[in-house]
Amino acid sequence: MHYVFIVVFPALVAYAAATDFLTMTISNRLSLALLVGFLLLAPFSGMTLAAFGWSLAGGGLVLAVGFGCFAAGWVGGGDVKFAAVVALWLGWDHLLEYAVLFSLYGGLLTLAALSLSKLIEPLPILQVGFLNRFNQHRHVPYGIALTVAALQVFPATVWMKLAG
């Protein structure tokens, strides 16, 4: 059973990054699957009730701050829901590290997309996935940054400790 703990989360967040790259969308069903997975697996993780509560608080905080960013037009709604449910999995203790990392990776991703868009604009064959959409609308698939940060923080969480 302990392998479920270390497979579900990485597989779902990797899928989110891939779909965000290709479609500029993170499905509500994917965020819901992460939420349900967390709620089903948390009781078997050895997580204390206090840690569970703090994880919920962290997810709520990310959702509240993210909603403000969404209302300002800075991020997409799918990114906000995804970041909030990822925060649940990572827990309160890793929330600041996660936020710093996804901010850094998001900035790097934006700079890379800006640079690449200048290079690929005259080469239509290279305009794939988010680069094509970025050239048209200047949107960045922030789910990639959220995923890379999550996968970097995940090994330090309670979930990986269960795997031994």
Instruction: Say what percent of the chain tops pLDDT 90.
Output: 62
pLDDT of residue 128: 58
Q: Which whole number is the average pLDDT over 126-143?
A: 65
Joined together, the tokens standing for residue 91 give 């827990």
DSSP readout, 37-106?
Answer: HHHHHGGGTT--HHHHHHHHHHHHHHHHHHHHHHHTTSS-HHHHHHHHHHHHHH-GGGHHHHHHHHHHHH
Q: pLDDT tier at 120 (50, 70, 90 boundaries)? A: low
Q: Which whole number is the average pLDDT over 70-81?
A: 92
pLDDT of residue 45: 84
More confident residue, 9 or 127: 9
Q: Which whole number is the average pLDDT over 150-159?
A: 92
SS3 128: coil
- Residue 143 · residue 17 · CB < 8 Å: yes
- Cα(81)–Cα(96) distance, rounded to whole angstroms? 17
pLDDT of residue 24: 85
- Cα(110)–Cα(104) distance, rounded to whole angstroms? 10
Whether 65 shows a pLDDT value over 80: the answer reads yes
